[in-house]
Amino acid sequence: MTANIKKQEDSMSTVTPTRAPHSDVPTGHKEEGRVGAGLFDPKQLLKSLPDAVRKLDPRVMVKSPVMFVVLVGSVLTTVFSFKDPGDWFGWAISAWLWLTVVFANLAEAVAEGRGKAQADTLRKAKTDTVARRLSKDGKGEEQVPGTELTIGDLVVCEAGDIIPGDGDVVEGVASVDESAITGESAPVIRESGGDRSAVTGGTKVLSDRIVIKITTKPGETFIDRMISLVEGAARQKTPNEIALNILLASLTIVFLLAVATLPPFADYAGTHLTMVVLVALLVCLIPTTIGALLSAIGIAGMDRLVQRNVLAMSGRAVEAAGDVSTLLLDKTGTITLGNRQASEFVPVTGTTEAEVADAAQLSSLADETPEGRSIVVLAKEKYGLRERHQGELAHAEWIAFTAQTRMSGVDVDGRKVRKGAAGSVIAWVREQGGEVSGDADILSNRISEAGGTPLLVAVEDTDGARILGVIHLKDVVKEGMRERFDELRRMGIKTVMITGDNPLTAKAIADEAGVDDFLAEATPEDKMALIKREQAGGKLVAMTGDGTNDAPALAQADVGVAMNTGTSAAKEAGNMVDLDSNPTKLIEIVEIGKQLLITRGALTTFSIANDVAKYFAIIPALFAVVYPGLDRLNIMDLSSPDSAILSAVIFNALIIIALVPLALRGVQYRPMSADKMLRRNLGIYGIGGLIAPFIGIKIIDLLISLIPGIG
């Protein structure tokens, strides 16, 4: 099983694209925080206006209890304004209340609008494909529309065909252009059997012929799901969003009670409160800011994932990502560069380093694997050995590297040179009647302990067969990984490296990379057991995977990110799919999840803190007439009662629009401890939320008082 995993790691590393991110996706710089920064164009507001007005439908509005109350309030004030048409104040309040509702809808419409464009592109990819279905007897072929395919159908695709539906390749190999989904223009190889058999409907075959077994019903294909996801049509409220909505609804009820019981109190005090004033007070007190932006925040969070080419199959998964406390990271491709590289040549007693280098290079010329190439390169760079080509040496018999022999080499001029895995080379030396020196064993062990992989170099010539030395193959840890893991640790996230390597090697790399823990010689069962163990302790686990044998673990993990290059079983089991198939992205996904929750919390706090200032504007305006002492609460020194109430309502509406960019972009996120983060966000959104409306309302009041005839 160990070897199997290794092979899988290798194959994964070869298909992992290392391209730059899309140019239109701002990845940001470290100083700014890695996640954040979705672009926001003010023009989008204007474009989404019709959608926003369409959303005024009460059946839609009722889903957000807070904004529904505002809608009812708007209707009420408008009706009362019609009863008293000469009162400019009633009209002004009504107008701003309507604007409050529209602004809220606008926020949602803008958030949805960003997904629409992507959905349109995807739709183009799936329109009108015609499938060439093989008849049941396997002989004939018929043309049917892609929408009429059923699960189990076999279809043929040749160069130039659009693949009509999701499925697995059952026959043949082809290069496929998946840019319609991934945005990646370089073609990928799809072949029958193994972990690269899955094809996606809407992608295009560039060469060769493949037979595909359809695995998904039309309408439920990957591309269909993707469209509904980016459009937000399939969006369901996430658990935390529901909980927050309940809290907001209960606050709304409390304030509704506070306002509804006010008229008898006021009547006793000797002043009559009009419906317009009561509604204005209510709207100012209920948490409209967060109520208006809540769904936009959720949509934008999903959208930020889509921009990074990650599809979350449920919003729940995005929230869970924020809560993850254990990350399982595959070593190869995530922590280390895909391939091991030669780093030194170590001679056994009686030979020189140069001799080893020469033999190593010679024997590696027939090894086209990345490891083999790195040996040739190291010999050239470190020992100045010119890279020879296979054609230069006449009468040479080349032995190419294969996974079975695990050895490569050359026979030339009566000299046989070999290099390869320790076991294979030792067996070869003995076969040739040579002696294996004890040195080789000691050196190999030393390299293993240091986390490297030893390859032996051996020669058979006139002096007989013998080991010359050892090549030290080293895993190269990606740059910046240690810092990243330190950050994760500060955020309270434990990292576990998963590898097929032996424990010694694994430990050395784990130490070098700075991960908290590692799982060596990992089998899928081990992975599953690890996940279950962590979950039993109450932890949430995230992992990536691509193979069919990863599927159970992907399903078990709280956040399972399947690579798009992986099998359809893996994609089915995970709750996210990374179209770039970049395992490092798991870290970004966690950050996006956190950012989503922080944005919600920050705007809720801001919204509630706002109430203090509004009270100081409205209460003296309502009651200073009967109790002049209450004018002392008018600390903003607002010009008139009408202007004070109107200013509060206007501020309440404008703050929604002002915060739309923040809701869409998300609160800036930097990895830091919970304590620091709370202090920072509480400072900005809590204290800021207390102070900002005092300033805002005062400014609006000043402007209103400039209008002649008012104030």
Partner 1 sequence: MSSVLADVLMVIALVGALALVHRPFGDYMAAVFQSGKHLRVERWIYRSVGADPDAEMRWPAYLRGMLVFSAVSVLFLYLLMRVQDKLPLSLGFKPISPDQAFNTAASFVSNTNWQSYSGEVAMSHVTQTAGLAVQNFVSAAVGIAVAVALVRGFARSRTGDLGNFWADLVRCIVRILIPISVVAAVLLIAAGAIQNFGDIHTITTLTGDKQAISPGAVASQEAIKDLGTNGGGFFNANSAHPFENPNGFTNLLEIFLLLVIPFSLPRTFGKMVGNVKQGYAIVAAMGIIWFAGVIAVTWLEYAHPGTASQLAGGAMEGKEQRFGEGPSSVFAVSTTMTSTGSVNSFHDSFSGLSGGVLLLGMMLGEIAPGGTGSGLYGMLIMAIIAVFLAGLMVGRTPEYLGKKIGTREIKLAACYILVTPALVLIGAGVAMALPEGKDAMTNIGAHGFSEVLYAFTSASNNNGSAFAGFGANTDFFNTTLGLCMVLGRFLPMVFVLALAGSLAEQKSVPETAGTIRTEKPLFTGLLVGAIMIITGLTFFPALALGPLAEGLAS
Could you give the CA distance from residue 517 to residue 507 in angstroms, rounded to a whole number? 9
CA 703 from centre of chain: 45
Q: Are strands 209-214 and 541-545 parallel, antiparallel or unpaired?
A: unpaired
- The verdict on whether residue 419 carries a ligand-binding annotation is yes
Hey, what amino acid is at 197? S
**CB closer to partner 1 out of 188 and 592:** 592
470/457 Cα distance (integer angstroms): 6
First to last CA, the chain: 82
**HSE-CB for 73 with a 13 A CA cutoff:** 34
Round to whole Å and give the CA distance between 123 and 117.
10
Q: At what angle do helices 262-269 and 611-623 cross, to 10 degrees?
A: 40
In the complex with partner 1, which residue's Cβ is closer, 116 or 490? 490
Does 349 show up as a binding residue in the annotation? no
Q: Which helix (H) or strand (E) holds 412?
A: strand 407-412
HEC letters along 355-397: HHHHHHHHHHCCCCCHHHHHHHHHHHHHHCCCCCCCCCCCCCE
408 annotated ligand-binding residue: yes
- Residue found by looking up tokens 């899309």 in the block: 22
Min separation Cβ 297 and partner 1, Å: 11
Q: How far apart are CA 140 and CA 256, in angstroms?
A: 71
Q: Which residue has the tokens 């404008």?
A: 654
> Locate tokens 């966690």: which residue?
590
CA distances from 566 to 11, 200, 204, 636, 691 (A): 11, 11, 18, 62, 52
Please state the closest distance from residue 549 (CB atom) to partner 1, in A.
Answer: 28
Alpha-helical (H) ranges within 140-287 are 179-182, 222-231, 239-260, 262-269, 275-285
Could you tell me which residues are beta bridge partners of residue 141?
A: 134
Q: How far is the CB of 263 from partner 1 (least distance, A)?
A: 8
Q: Is 478 annotated as a binding residue?
A: no
Classify 216 as helix, strand or coil: coil
User: Which of 656, 645, 694 has the alpha carbon at shortest distance from 100?
Assistant: 656
Whether 543 has a binding-site annotation, put simply, is no
Shortest Cβ distance from residue 242 to partner 1 (Å)? 5
Q: Which of 135/261 has CB closer to partner 1?
A: 261
Length in residues, the chain: 711
Per the CB < 8 A criterion, the answer to whether 464 and 415 are in contact is: no
**CA 647 to centroid of chain Cα atoms:** 41
Beta carbon of residue 674, minimum distance to partner 1 (angstroms, whole number): 4
The CB-of-604 to partner 1 minimum distance in angstroms stands at: 6
What is the closest distance, in whole angstroms, from the C-beta atom of residue 259 to partner 1 in the complex?
7
- Tokens in use for 217? 């019903």
Do residues 596 and 301 touch, judged by C-beta distance below 8 A? Answer: yes
Tell me whether residue 402 is annotated as binding: yes
67 is in an annotated binding site: no
Which one is catalytic: 330, 358, 475, 578?
330
What residues form DSSP beta bridges with 412?
A: 415
546 annotated to bind ligand: yes
Query: Is 404 annotated as belonging to a binding site?
Result: yes
- C-beta closer to partner 1: residue 238 or 374: 238
Nearer to partner 1, 32 or 191 (CB): 32
Quick one: 8 or 604, whose CB is closer to partner 1?
604
- In the bound state with partner 1, the residue whose beta carbon lies nearer, of 269 and 377, is 269
Contacts of 535 (CB under 8 A, 6+ apart): 541, 556, 558
Closest contact distance (angstroms) between CB of 707 and partner 1 is 28
Task: Give the C-alpha separation, 452 to 74, whole Å.
Answer: 71
Smallest distance, partner 1 to C-beta of residue 685, A? 7
> By C-alpha distance, which of 458, 530, 459 is closest to 495?
530
Amino acid at 684: I
Rounded CA-CA distance 696/652 in Å is 10
Q: How far is the CB of 322 from partner 1 (least distance, A)?
A: 5
Would you say 506 or 613 has its CB closer to partner 1? 613
Residue 387's CB is within 10 A of a number of other CB atoms, namely 12
Distance of closest approach, residue 594 Cβ to partner 1, in angstroms? 3
Per the annotation, does 407 bind a ligand? yes
Alpha helices in 286-339 (DSSP H): 288-307, 315-323
Nearer to partner 1, 399 or 659 (CB): 659
DSSP line for 496-541: EEE-SS-HHHHHHHHHHHT-SEEE-S--HHHHHHHHHHHHHTT--E
| 153 flagged as catalytic | no
Which of 144/691 has CB closer to partner 1? 691
Where do we find the tokens 């009967």? Answer: 626
Which residue, 206 or 256, has its beta carbon nearer to partner 1?
A: 256
Task: Estimate the share of the chain in helix, then strand, then coil, as percent rounded to the nearest 5.
Answer: 55, 15, 30
Which residue ranges are tagged as binding site for Mg(2+)?
Answer: 546, 550
Active centre residues (catalytic): 330
Which residue ranges are tagged as binding site?
Answer: 367, 371, 401-408, 419, 546, 550
Which residue ranges are tagged as binding site for ATP?
Answer: 367, 371, 401-408, 419
